[in-house]
Structure 1
């Protein structure tokens, strides 16, 4: 068995509010990348749920996309271990969509 990391995107909708997206990095054990992709897809679909918040608004989480699956290096996981790396070209766009960087309070 190998360890893979899957990048999943889900979206929450609530009434007339702007959607809130969640990106999750999930560790999976699988024999092959294809098996890991299948498990990641199933995991994402299992995240779908609906509930009422404290205001009585219906919150619906929907699995949106399996972004990537990558094998985690076999080096022992420990302090400073890197499990996934991604690259992007537009830091301003990244800042605009990342609430923690833009100062938005969730």
Structure 2
């Protein structure tokens, strides 16, 4: 089934679409430190379920943010890392994360 090409009204619209959801930013942040195996990544993103991590990684791989490398060995080993595209998004997200750190107390106080 062909997918419909999406058009965006501005760059922010496109960025939010590719980052959509709660978990992708946290996964991106964790992978910014370097490649991680699935279990390491799950521990690096507290609160995410195994199923949700699998779904988010698939979406991020399909959109070109994450690279999945399978090492053919026993036991099997799979590592996830940021692509150049993913790294560029991570770099763009850093100022937003700094803003969040700076205003975290105020944001947490919002009823």
Settle same-fold status: TM greater than 0.5. no
TM-score by length of 2: 0.24
TM-score by length of 1: 0.25
Bigger fraction of residues in strand: 1
Bigger fraction of residues in helix: 2
Report 1 or 2 for greater relative contact order, CA contacts < 8 Å, sequence distance ≥ 6. Answer: 1
